Every structure is written in C-alpha cells, then in structure tokens.
Amino acid sequence: MGLNLSWSAPTPRSAPPAAGLGAAFTGVAVEEAAIDAALVERVQAGDKLAFDLLVRKYQHRIIALIQRFVPDWHEAQDVAQEAFIKAYRALPNFRGDSAFYTWLYKISVNTAKNFLVSQSRRPPMDDILLEDAVHHEAAGRMHERATPENEFLREEVERTVIAAVEELPEEIRTALTLREIDGLSYEEIAQIMNCPIGTVRSRIFRGRDAVDRRIRPLVEG
C-alpha cells in the first residue's frame, strides 16, 4: 500500500469543562462523520489518496491513544502505522454500522494490546484512564473555585477522585472515560464495548454518581 506516514508529536490540549462536554463535541462529530463517510466511499472505490487524507486527519489522535498503552514514542509510531494498515486492508468490508473513527479506535486499541501481548507486557490502561479522569474531573469541579487560596482544596479533590475512580468496576470506569475524556457518543461507546446503549448509559450514570458522592462534601463544604 505504501502508507507514507509523517508523524509529529500531538499537541497537548486541556480538557473542556465537565458541564459543557457533550455539547462541545456534537456539531464537530456530525461534520466529521459526513467527511469521513465521503472519504471512506472514495477509498472503497479504489482512491488511495482518500485514505492518506484519513491518515493525516487522525494520525495524531491515534498516536495519542496508542501511547496510553505504549508510552515509548517510536514504538507507538510503529503500532499506529500497523493499525492504519489493518484499517486499510479491512476497509472494503466496512459497512458504516458505526462512525469511521469508532471503528478505527477499536482497531487501534486492539493493535496496541496485541503488541503488548507480543512483548509479554501488560496493558496499563487502568492506570492511564485513572490519571485522565482525575485531571478532567478536578478541572470541571473546581472551575469556579480555581483561586490560589483554594489550591489545597483542589489537591484534596484530586486525591478523593483518585480513590473514587480506583474503586469503580472496570466496565464502569472504561465507559465513563470514553464519554468524559474521549468525548465519544453513547452509540460509539456501545460499539467499542460491545454492549447495548442502555447498558452504556447505566454504567456512565453509576460512575458519575459514585465520583460525585465522594467529592460533593468537598466542593459544597
């Protein structure tokens, strides 16, 4: 296929406030889905350049995702390229039952996990999801109270969130993170986790409620 990927480090972005997370992704997600669908059709019709456009569009996001599992930059590049190659080869069978990025996300995660298995390493996903959740939850909850005088309270909230998220069952922690950190829709999360949308909603609600109950005395005190 001759994928010529030119990697560069993804630019770190701060998480949006928790209250507006869903709305922030809605319009962009709709536009991206339409563009992706058109590019996928072109690839399936034999246009390799269209796939190069998809690679350029998502390469930084996919590398950032894979680095959750494979922190080494050079290894992450190799795994990302392998994931894109797998996606290209499987694209003729892609029927659009999910968004292209949801489909690519699953391929990338599975490729990263397979790489770790081949290297006799354990996927460190739980620790990374926990770290993401801590920074995001603390930023959202303390948004209106972020003053120098309240820095000690922010640290206490972060410690409390760590404990709360750490106690969540894996499926609840994963669903919550895919929604709040990655900004995926309920439908996309259901595709990734292979479960009904109702189950996704229930897991996210339970995760939010568990974290909220732990930090409410701190932020309302």
- Predicted pLDDT at 118: 86
Query: Binning pLDDT at 50, 70 and 90, where does residue 211 land?
Result: confident
Contact 203, 175 (CB under 8 A): yes
What is the average per-residue pLDDT within 7-17? 43
What is the crossing angle of helices 197-219 and 170-180, to 10°? 80
Query: Binning pLDDT at 50, 70 and 90, where does residue 79 land?
Result: very high
Cβ count near 220 (within 10 Å): 6
Contact 68, 125 (CB under 8 A): yes
CA distances from 190 to 55, 117, 171, 193, 207 (A): 24, 25, 11, 5, 16
36 in helix, strand or coil? Answer: helix
Contact 66, 83 (CB under 8 A): yes
In this prediction, what percent of the chain has a pLDDT beyond 90? 27
In the chain the domains, ranked by start, together with CATH numbers, are: 21-118 (1.10.1740.10), 125-219 (1.10.10.10)
Least confident of 95-99, 142-146, 162-166: 142-146
- pTM for the full predicted model: 0.55
Residue 16 clears pLDDT 60, i.e. is over it: no
Tokens of 62: 């996919």
What is the DSSP secondary-structure string of 114-145?
A: HHHHHTT----HHHHHHHHHHHHHHHHHTGGG
Which spans in the chain are helix H? 21-44, 48-66, 73-90, 100-118, 125-141, 151-167, 170-180, 186-193, 197-219
Q: What angle do CA 56, 59, 62 make, to 5 degrees?
A: 155
Residue 55 clears pLDDT 80, i.e. is over it: yes
- Predicted pLDDT at 19: 38
Q: Residue 179: which of 68, 14, 25 has the closest Cα?
A: 25
Query: Binning pLDDT at 50, 70 and 90, where does residue 87 land?
Result: very high
Residue 183 and residue 178: Cα distance in Å, rounded?
6
Residue 210 and residue 215: Cα distance in Å, rounded?
9
Please tell me which residue, 17 or 166, carries the higher pLDDT value: 166
